[in-house]
Structures are given as C-alpha cells and as structure tokens.
Structure 1
Amino acid sequence: MDNLNGKIENQCPKDSEETQRTVHELQVHEAELEIQNGDLLRVQKGLEFWRNYAEDIVNTVREPLVVLSSTLQVQTANSSFYATFKVTPKETIGKFIYDLGNRQWDIPKLRVLFEEILPHDTVINDYEVEHDFLGIGRKVILLNAREIRRENIAPHIILLALEDITDRRRAEDELKEKRQELEELNTSLEVRIEKAVDALRQKDQKLIQKYRQALMGEMINNVAHHWRQPLNRLGLVVQQMPHYEAGEFSKEIMEETTAQAMELIQNMSQTIDDFRIFFRTDTEEVTFAVNQVIERTISLIRDSFEDQKISIVYHSAGEPLVTGYPYEYGQVLLNILMNARDALVAQQVEGALISITAFTKGDTTVVNITDNAGGIADEIINKLFYPYFTTKGPDKGTGLGLFMSKTIIEKNMGGKLTVSNTGSGAEFRIEVGA
C-alpha cells in the first residue's frame, strides 16, 4: 500500500505537468484563434466595405448595370436597371438572364452575345439589341459586356452595361424622316421654282415681244415720215419725164434730176438698212461707241420730230464707250426720246426741245436726255418704271417701254437708269460701264 501510494505520489506530479502543458497549449491555440478570428473579422469588414463601396458606385451609374456569374445568373443589378425595366431585386437576383421578366430576356441576339461572341472576345462594345418588353414597350439597347477573370478565384463574372438609346434612335429616325421630307420638299420646290422661272421667262419673252412690236410700230411711223418728202420729190421727177420727151428741158437738167432721184432712193434704202439694224437681236456683249448709236437713233426720228416742231440737240464730250448690247441700247434711247416727244406734244410746249449729252465719268459712260415739258408729277415719278404703268391711256401706250428700258440697262448691262425733274422738265440718266 505504501508502495502503491508512493507510486501514485511519484506519478501525480508528472500528470499535473502534462495537464498544465496541455492547458497552456490550448490557451496558446485559443489566443491564436482569437487573433485569426480578429483578422478574419477585419478582412470581412474590409470586404463588406469594399462590396458596399462597389455597390454604391454601381448604383450611381446612370445606365442600367448588371453583374452576372459565369453561368449567366444575376448576382447584382443597380437601381437604374430596376427602374428602366420595371422589375424588383427579388424578381432579379439569382435568376438566369434569359429567365428575367417571365423570359422576356430570352432574346436571340442576347444569346448570340453570351454564347458565341463573348467566349471569344472578353470585351464587347455597342452591341445593339432591339426588343419589345412587356409593360415598357419597344426598346433599343446598346450592350457593353466585359468578362472579368479574377486570379485564384473562380468562377469569373460578367459585367453588363445597358444603354437605352430608344429616344435617341427615335430622334434619329425622325430626323432622317424630316431630312427625307426636306429633300422631297426641296425637290418639289426646285421643280416649282423651275416652272415659275420658266413661266417668268415666257412672260418676259412675251413682254419683250410686245415691247418690240410697239417700238416697231413707232419706228414704222417714223420711217413713213422720213420717206414722205423723198417720195414727193420722186413723184415730181416722174412727172417731169414727159416734159423731157417733149423737149421742154435739156438732157443736162434731166441727168441732174435723175441723180437727185437716185440719191433720194439711196437715202430711203439706207433708212431701211438702219431700221433693220436697229431691231437686230444682240447675241453677245461688245464695246461700242455711244456717239454712233445716238446719232443713228436720232437719224431715224428727226424728220417726224421736226414735223411736230420738236428740236433735238446732241452734245458729246469726247468719244465715250459702253460695254453691252448696242442694239438694245439704241432701243432704250428711242423709247426715252419718244416718251419725251409725247410729253412735249401733250403739253403743247412752244420751242419744244430735247437735249442729249454724253460724257465719261470715271469708268462709266453717262447719257442724259432732258426735255422742257414741265417734268413728271411727284405722285407718279416713282412708278414710272413699273410694268404696264402708263400716263397716256390704254389706247396710246402699253406701259412696257420704260419698264423694259430699265430691265435692259440694269439687268442685261449691269448699269443704271434713273429719272428726275429739272427746272424745265424731266431728265433720264443712263449709266453703263465702259
């Protein structure tokens, strides 16, 4: 017994030491576990912070954003996604992308993106999908997908951003439609303008024809006046021939009379040539001497004006030149001179006078035509160049002469035709570049 107690006494200290050592080891392990647990808690809090931080960033993104697992299950989505597609987190998180919204997302083009394109290309930009969504209507969406592979962490995730461009596409379509309408309108407008221009051109041609006919009628009257005296003299020559045959005057007198008759015939022939030249149509601009055009115009009307006791005085400073259309220029001169004649006759002016002056001012040749018929009334002077405006009455004038004259000088020749009153009458001023 004593021996047993001794053995026990000898063994107890050994057991106590082992127990103490075990307890110590347990305490050390416990301390290590507490440290590790603290580290894990800190890591967990850090991860939770960064997760919340990442989710906050995702939620602040304006465009809808979805994070998918490698098996295409929704892990998270931002508030814009829920608002745009009118779904809740409960209806979304953990669902397959194709199953969302009662399988509304089972879109063929979306399957192509995830199953054919993305496996070969980890970044997809501006992949367009158009689809009718229940409750929100037709949407045009640009998808931007990125496969994110995390080292030592499996599986990978897919970040999917969705940009709703429905309004933009609608605006683009409307703009395209408006542009097409505008093009059609422009085409229609061009056609209408072309028709209007053609109508105006035809109207202008009719006006020109009417104007030239009226002017030609005046010229025929002037030619008739111009021929009256020569025809009378030719008549006298013819009447004298029987007297020559009867021997009442010599051969010399007969030859002299015949020469006078031939001169008259030549003058009459020249009048016809001048008349024909006067009404030629100009085909191109030329530089011409103003003096020649004025003198030829005066020669055609002088006799008829003298019959009405109207004098024409012409003075030129040098040899002024004009670049333009000489025959049209002469027709303008004739028209202004005839208007002056009509005013002088209507006012029954004693000592009726038309004065023409020509001179050069810088690069411009100026021709002033002045009468002493008393001038033009203030209330009509500004209307004088209007088409169909006349003070002579419908039976005496077409109202086209001055309108066409202004058109010829200003539109055809780039010049200027104006009218003003002087102390004794009206003055028409023609200015055209040399």
Structure 2
Amino acid sequence: MKDENKTKKKLIDELVGLRQRITNLEKSETERKRMEVAVREAHRYAESIVETVREPLVVLNVDLKILSANRSFYNTFKVTPDETVGKFIYDLGDQQWDIPRLRTLFEEILPKNTKFDNFEVEHNFPIIGRKIMLLNARRIYRKDIGMQMILLAIEDITERRQREEELKKLSEELARSNTDLRDFAYVASHDLKKPLQSIEGFAKLLARRYKGKLDAKADEFIEYIGSGVKRMQMFIKDLLEYSQVGAKEKKFKPTDCSGVVQKAVGNLQAAIEESNAVVTYDELPTVMADTPQMISLFQNLIDNAIKFRGEEAPRVHISAERKGDEWVFSIRDNGIGIDPKDSERIFGMFQRLHGSTDYPGTGIGLAICKKIIERHGGRIWLESETGKGSTFYFTMPCMQ
C-alpha cells in the first residue's frame, strides 16, 4: 500500500511537471509570436520613417543588418530590396562602407548611445560611378516593444562639391583679374603723370610768353589745354585711389569717427570757406576700420554735398544711430538732390548726372565710397528728391 502511494505521488509530480513544461512552452510560443509581431511592427515603423524623406535612408538592426531602406536609397544606388534588406551594411555593393573608422562609429552607437555627423566617403560606387557622400547616423529606440535600431542618412554632395570647386576656381581667376586690373590702373596712372606734367608745363610757358600777343582764339586754346590737363590729373588721382582701395590690406583698428570727420573737414577747408558751407556732426561712434579710407569716405561725401549745392549756402549734417549689430551713418545736405530713379546708378564708375562745366568731377568719387564701405562689410545707399536735398546712408559693423 505504501509503495502504491509512492507510485501515485511520483506520477502526479510528473504530470504537474509536464503541465508546467506545456505552460512554459505555451508562454514561449506566445512570447515568440509577440516578438514576431513586434519585429513586423518595427519593420513597418522603420519603413514609415524612411519613406517620408527624400534623401537616401537606411534602418539597421542591432547586428548592423539592414531592416529597410527608402525609395531614394534604391534610386540613388541603383539596387533592389533583394540586394539590400537583410545584408550587413559592410557587405553592400563592393564593400564601400567597410571602412575601419566607420565600423567603429557604427558599433558604438547602440552600446554607448552615440551618433555621428558628416562622415565623408568618396568612392567609385558600382553603376553610379565616383560620388562623395556624407553619412549621419542616430539611435532609434522603440520603448513600447523594447527594440533599438540605427537610422542612417546618406547625402550625395558630389554636385555641391563640384560647384564649390568651380566657384573656388572662378574666385581665384577673379582675384587674379582684379589684381591685374589694379596693377594696370596703378602703372597706367603713374605713366600718364609725367606726360601730363610736360603738357601742363608747356601750356603755362605758352601762356606766359604769348598771352595777349596772339589772337583771342589762341589765348582761349591755351586755357583749354590747361583746364584739360587739370581734369585729367584729377581723373588719374581718383582712378588711382579707386584701384588701391582693395589693395591696401591694412588691418582694421579702432577708429574714432568724430576725429575722422574732423580731419575730412580740415582737408576741405578751402571749399567750405569758398561756398560758405556749414558742416556739423553729432558725437560719432568708434568702429573697427581703415582710418585713412574712412577719411577718404567722409571727405568724398562732404565734398559731394558742397559741390552739388543750390542757391542757398550748403548745410551738411552727419549723424549715426545704432541698429542691432551695426551703426547706420547719415550725411544729410540741402543741395539740389537727384531723381530717385538714379539713386543706384550714381555709385557706378564714371557715372555723372551733370555736365563737367556745371559741376566739375570725374564720376569716380561715389564709386570709391561704395568700394570702401563694402570692404568694411557695410552697404551704402541714397535717399533724395530733385530740389529737396539728399541723405547718404551707410552701415558699419559695431565693435565686438
């Protein structure tokens, strides 16, 4: 009887154990099915992400195998899903992504929750040829199913890099052309000075020896020669100054604009007294600038205001107002003004709105101003109406 009870107990224990194993199997099967559903859901999730983006995207699992890629990836690399999904990232194509440094970056993303940006790969890819690609990678974590993945974005920058190279070459060519042109202007200006000095000398000699001894026309012709030489000398001086604005690569230094205006006014003292002009200015800021060029800038603008005056004595006022990270300077006058349609044209080389007999000049002064301002990182413009005076504005960066 005792043995029979032991046998029954053993049988019951075995049945209980079998039931437990069946239960565990059922749980395992349930878990397996749940994981299959989770994986399918992860695939759908990954696909829903990558298909919304125009640049090539790839989603990798923890083993660095490809879960999915978007249409842009297949179109860019001319491959099919069968050639891509399930493959190691390093096995794609002709192993173009199998780069030691890239391996390290990929393999650190999930364990260390790192990322990488703008990893550059230049490679002769199958079918599509030599390309330059930028790779960016991030960790994606699905908390609801406890699954983590890697999102890899690929940007083809081949055309952009080619454009950058072309732009660099064009910039270098332009710099060489500008240097050649500047050198030509400098040499030509210097070479023209001596012949003009000779002409001027002989014209003065003719005037001294023969003025009043020949007919009236002869005296007039001699005067024409003298005035023509003076205009040419002025033209050469302005052309030389214009050509040297960009060449004078002096380092900017703190420049007190009130002191600059004071020097410019001093240089124009004769013209100011002759025209009974009044030049006033507010307290002006200190900016980082090339001091001699700033003197030239204000001198040109003040001289312009005095030259193009109306019937009243010239009144010129200079002020500055800070707006954000720049100073806006203004030079206001009560002169003859100009038509608003000409407000941009006047900053071009050799642009004159009036005859040289009425208002002498070379048509280069405002072009010099524009070039100086642009070299200092600012901009210059004009607001004016005919008969109502003009206000020139220009900007200068504030000191940091």
TM-score (norm 1): 0.39
